[in-house]
Amino acid sequence: MSVDAEEMRARVALSRLAEPANPALARTLRLVSPAELLDQLLSQSLDDHVLDRQLRSRLERLDIDKELAALDSVGGRVVCPGDDEWPVCLDDLDDRAPLVLYVRGGGHLAAAVDRAVAMVGTRDATAYGVEVATTMSVELSDRGWTIVSGGAYGIDAASHRGALAAGGVTVAVLACGVDVTYPRGHDGLFEAIAESGLIVSELPPGSAPHRMRFLDRNRLIAALAAGTVVVEAAARSGARRTALDALALGRSLMIVPGSVIASSSVGCHRLLREKPEAVLVTGAADVCEQVGRIGADLAPVPQGATTSRDALTAELARVLDAVPVYREQGPARIAATAGLPLRDVELALGRLEMVGLVEQRAGHWRLSAAQRRARSSADSPRSASDGHTRVSPGA
């Protein structure tokens, strides 16, 4: 399912005309469609004069085709509320939900953030912070969690890199256009993220990062994840805003402590002292205990939930059905069972692993522990004779 082209174009236009998190605009869009609002603006018939003045200043230079061409040139796409890829968790932002998302990368955004943890912290990270962020990100990725962060230097970069190193999925939410590399030094990192994960922004292509945009961006990081982990934060830090956004959204706020002598953890300790809801975490296991789902994550080998399966393409579902429950098989055998080309099956297995549905040992595959549990508790058809289960697409 995807929204129609007219609505998509209108949302792109409005994202250019308005700055993010404009509650007046959001409230108006409950009464009229984006296309109608744009029409009213163009025909000077918008009743709300304050909103009219806000949106009009950039109206002269509006060129939707140019926006879309710029996006297209970096292989980006537009994701609107109502699209399959739209993360419904953003609805929790209410009046401050984004109008539209610009997305780059090979992942499926809604699927990617179905089990996501945000990891944020200072750009001026210490060796300790980088070590903790990297290790935690690797371990959460191993457990099938997507890592959401802001693409900045320091803790953000370590969080993204840990996920990449573990072959996991990571989402960078930028405070500029998805075609803008900020900071410049993260050119290679952003390319790597886009390959298997996602680069996301609510700002149209070419948008430069401003201070307010960073602060507004942080609400998206908090909203896209089940919980936010702050690894290192000085007394004044953007991570604090993300932390407070997470609490305001009813998400978990998790804090990594550190040296009380170093300035790099002052913000972390302050949050732990000020916010009774904030939970001290020392590693991935503590994070899973906090944001994990009962049955999926509170088990020795934490792992992917059944909801992920519903988001699969027909081909992925077919490959999944061919994967044995317990006794691992090689890709060739699975390809034969599925009746699909080996290369396609290999790619599909990689993707299924990323969303936590299958696991491998030495190149041989079987269902993940959580998926096995999910199946054994579900009322699904099974044939135990050959040691694995076939599940019909709707199971």
Kindly list the residues in this chain that would bind a copy of itself in the complex (CB under 8 A): 128, 131-132, 256-261, 265-266, 269, 272-273, 276, 279-283, 286
Q: Min. distance of Cβ 128 from a copy of itself in angstroms?
A: 6
Q: In the bound complex, what is the minimum distance in angstroms from residue 282's beta carbon to a copy of itself?
A: 4
Closest to a copy of itself by CB, 30 vs 273, is 273
In Å, what is the CA distance from 67 to each residue of 74, 77, 83, 101, 328?
12, 11, 19, 13, 48
Among residues 1 and 261, whose Cβ is nearest to a copy of itself? 261
Determine the Cα–Cα distance for residues 395 and 244; give it in Å rounded to an integer.
Answer: 39
Structure-token match 């409230």, residue found:
27
Select 259 or 313, whichever has its Cβ closest to a copy of itself: 259
For residues 184 and 320, what is the distance between their CA atoms, to the nearest angstrom?
Answer: 40
CB 8 within 8 A of CB 80: yes
Cis peptide before 183 (omega within 30 of 0): yes
Q: Which two tokens stand for residue 160?
A: 């993204």
Q: What single letter denotes the amino acid at residue 12?
A: V
Give the total residue count for the chain: 395
Of 167 and 283, the one with the shorter C-beta distance to a copy of itself is: 283
Nearer to a copy of itself by C-beta: 268 or 305? 268
Least Cβ distance, residue 134 to a copy of itself (angstroms): 11
**Closest separation between CB of residue 289 and a copy of itself, Å?**
9
Strand blocks (E) in the chain: 76-79, 101-104, 116-120, 146-149, 170-173, 198-201, 227-230, 252-255, 279-280, 358-361, 364-367
For residue 117, the minimal CB distance to a copy of itself (Å) is 16
Residue 133's SS3 state is helix
Least CB distance from residue 136 to a copy of itself, whole Å?
9
C-alpha 110/C-alpha 144 separation (Å) is 15
CA atoms within 13 A on the CB side of 339: 4
The nearest distance, CB 297 to a copy of itself, in angstroms, is 17
> Which residue's CB is nearer to a copy of itself, number 202 or number 232?
232
In whole angstroms, the minimum distance from the beta carbon of 247 to a copy of itself comes to 17
- Look up residue 69 and give its two tokens: 């061409």
Q: Which is nearer to a copy of itself, 286 or 344 (CB)?
A: 286
10/256 with CB nearer a copy of itself: 256
